[in-house]
Structure 1
Amino acid sequence: MINRLFRKLGSFYVASGLGLLLWMTFFDANDLPTQIRNWWRLHQLEGEVQYYRTSIKTVQTEQREVLGSDRLREKFAREKYWMKKQGEDVFVIVDEHNEPLEK
């Protein structure tokens, strides 16, 4: 009799445990697919953080160069933004894809 009671309780706990595991894996607010999506999004955002950090360093370096003097500021504007003085013509050489050769 005690043996049958333990078997019933054992199967009850196994079934309850499996039911709980199933519920937590697929139906809970923090289910497994949601956790995987969140992990993937976190991975993408960490990549973007790295990209923006390198971009910020590049911009800070350019800023230090440009703020040095008026001559450097003019050189930077001419090379980066193709600015020109009044009465001056600027020619940009492009490749077959209509993109400038110097970037």
Structure 2
Amino acid sequence: MKRLIALFSNKFFLVTAAFVVWMIFFDKNDLLSRYEYHQQLQKLKHERDFYQAETDKVTKDLDELSSDPKQLEKFAREKYLMKKDNEDVYMVVKEKPKDE
């Protein structure tokens, strides 16, 4: 018991304990902030991977459209509803089932 009292009355121990408490709870880089930064970093990495995958997909599609005229015609017909002069285009829209 006397050792504990001596330990808690030691000025070096008190300064060290105060420093540790300050760094863990009150500093601008405390543990909670570090955890939030880590979560934000993980979210940004996930977004980066998603956008890299989307960029690769778009690049692949662009290469296909640039190299193959049939793919370009198919793309124009599907996305922009383009048609040849002697054609008629009819759009068939499926109705969504109504939830009751």
TM-score range, shorter chain: 0.7 to 0.9
> SS in structure 2 opposite 1:84?
coil
- How many residues end up aligned between the 2 structures? 91
| Corresponding residue number in structure 1 for 2:91 | 91
CA RMSD of aligned residues (A): 2.5
Moved more, 61-70 or 47-56: 61-70
Deviations 1:21-66 (A, max 9, x none): 1101111121111111100000000000110111011001100110
Distance 1:30 1:57 in 2: 37
For structure 2, the residue ranges without an aligned partner over 5 or more in a row are 1-5
Is the 1:84–1:90 contact (alpha carbons within 8 Å) kept by the matching residues of 2?
A: no
TM-score (norm 1): 0.73
For structure 1, the residue ranges without an aligned partner over 5 or more in a row are 1-6, 99-103
TM-score (norm 2): 0.75
> SS in structure 2 opposite 1:88?
coil
> Aligned-pair distance for 1:89?
2.1
